[in-house]
Homo-oligomer: A and B are copies of this chain.
């Protein structure tokens, strides 16, 4: 019998305990041994968790318990869990975590600490979808050309609703909060930070790239308007918040932002709270993984799968999937300013003579080539220019937006969405 300790018995922790009990028949058949939760650590002992495990408020009760072979870390945060898992690994206990923030900041130190002991984290990216497993094991024969994914269910829910029902951003955010899909302070989700943490984890497995959230381009969905949705529909796009990792020569670009995706791409067809991640390998081509990216049971499904794998085989795969530097350690992070993309811009201008000529001139001066341009009447005497570009450089676009914004006939900061 294998004994597990859970540090942090919230929604996911309760689900882990319940799954290990309710599905014990298949789990023990698959693992070859019975697995039970011996104890759980909580901050508040008086709160009823509705689950039948021994609780303590002292993490040392688990860390010093020789019977416990596997520590499941579900505390959230960065510093405290880092301390806990470090102690667990040093005392020879395997660790399973669902903590993406911990990994976004400490995955390379943890890979070092976990050289000879299992440290698993399937649930940290895309909840119940076994994407870590797929990328680290299933696609190991490939140079990964790109990863492109819907990694945040809250944003996808909101964008899907805005698109299907024509509802404004603020209205749908309120609804998502009422449904429990978005937090009271929604910044972590709608600002793209949650997706960025997940992207960094995947990029380490694919490329061995070391970067922190503050090193990469992160934008959220706060400025998406119904004008943009209308443009997207008219030109055959869906709007999705994407995490993108892409190899270009010896550089890897990492970015999180809303994007216009052609409607016939599989990733454009993923709606509502679901997650989906497309991975292109040089040999396998595109593969895509779809499922629930959040929720207690879905997340716990991944945590328990990690426990089963540890019980089956101990340590088999290196934590981040590589033992020697990937591609001889030649890959570096591309400067965000150098990222190239097609862009869509929405510029609200005074509706008077000469404006179009001035705008197109400015595009030319910034080396940006226009692909389509559409003028739509807006409020009062203004018009919206909806413009898509050919491939352009991030720094050129940003400089141009700055220039446009300073013109007297441009009414507000131009909105921009990248096209993939």
CA distance A274 to B309 in the complex (A): 30
Decide if A269 is an interface residue (CB 8 Å cutoff).
yes
Partner of A298, one of B25, B143, B284: B284
CA distance A323 to B27 in the complex (A): 10
Partner of A322, one of B15, B19, B29, B297: B29
CA distance A269 to B267 in the complex (A): 11
CA distance A140 to B9 in the complex (A): 22
Interface bits A16-46 vs B (CB < 8 Å: 1, else 0): 0001000101111111100000000000000
Identical copies of this chain, number: 2
> A138 to chain B: which residues have CB within 8 Å?
122, 129-130, 133-134, 302, 305
Decide if A153 is an interface residue (CB 8 Å cutoff).
no
User: Which among A133, A283, A295, A328 has the greatest number of chain B C-beta atoms within 10 A?
Assistant: A283
Q: Are A291 and B282 interface neighbours, CB within 8 A?
A: no
CA distance A16 to B86 in the complex (A): 40
Decide if A58 is an interface residue (CB 8 Å cutoff).
no
Q: Are A29 and B208 interface neighbours, CB within 8 A?
A: yes
CB distance from A227 to the nearest CB of B (A): 27
Decide if A415 is an interface residue (CB 8 Å cutoff).
no
User: Which among A28, A129, A140, A270 has the greatest number of chain B C-beta atoms within 10 A?
Assistant: A140
Smallest CB gap from A264: residue in B: B271
Q: With contacts A326-B29, A328-B25 known, is A291 near B288, CB below 8 A? A: yes
Decide if A411 is an interface residue (CB 8 Å cutoff).
no
User: Which among A26, A317, A321, A325 has the greatest number of chain B C-beta atoms within 10 A?
Assistant: A26
Number of interface residues of A (CB under 8 A): 66
Q: With contacts A27-B141, A300-B141 known, is A324 near B32, CB below 8 A? A: yes
Q: Are A283 and B298 interface neighbours, CB within 8 A?
A: yes
Decide if A285 is an interface residue (CB 8 Å cutoff).
yes
Interface bits A310-335 vs B (CB < 8 Å: 1, else 0): 00111111100111111110000000
Q: Are A290 and B290 interface neighbours, CB within 8 A?
A: yes
Q: Which of A99-132 contact B (CB under 8 A)?
A: 122, 128-130
Q: Are A283 and B269 interface neighbours, CB within 8 A?
A: no
Decide if A304 is an interface residue (CB 8 Å cutoff).
yes
Smallest CB gap from A32: residue in B: B323
User: Which among A286, A305, A316 has the greatest number of chain B C-beta atoms within 10 A?
Assistant: A305
Q: Are A304 and B141 interface neighbours, CB within 8 A?
A: yes
Decide if A362 is an interface residue (CB 8 Å cutoff).
no
Q: With contacts A129-B287, A133-B137, A284-B128 known, is A142 near B26, CB below 8 A? A: yes
> A283 to chain B: which residues have CB within 8 Å?
15, 19, 23, 128, 297-298, 300-301, 304
CB distance from A322 to the nearest CB of B (A): 5
Q: Are A29 and B309 interface neighbours, CB within 8 A?
A: no
CB distance from A371 to the nearest CB of B (A): 27
Q: Are A309 and B298 interface neighbours, CB within 8 A?
A: no
User: Which among A19, A281, A328 has the greatest number of chain B C-beta atoms within 10 A?
Assistant: A281
A selection of 22 A-B contacts at a CB cut-off of 8 Å is A26-B142, A28-B324, A29-B208, A30-B140, A32-B318, A122-B138, A128-B287, A130-B133, A130-B139, A134-B289, A138-B305, A141-B300, A141-B301, A141-B308, A142-B301, A283-B297, A286-B291, A288-B291, A289-B289, A312-B318, A313-B317, A314-B316
Given pairs A130-B137, A139-B305, A313-B316, 13 additional interface contacts (CB within 8 A): A15-B283, A19-B283, A23-B282, A28-B324, A29-B326, A31-B140, A130-B133, A142-B301, A284-B297, A284-B298, A290-B290, A312-B316, A313-B313
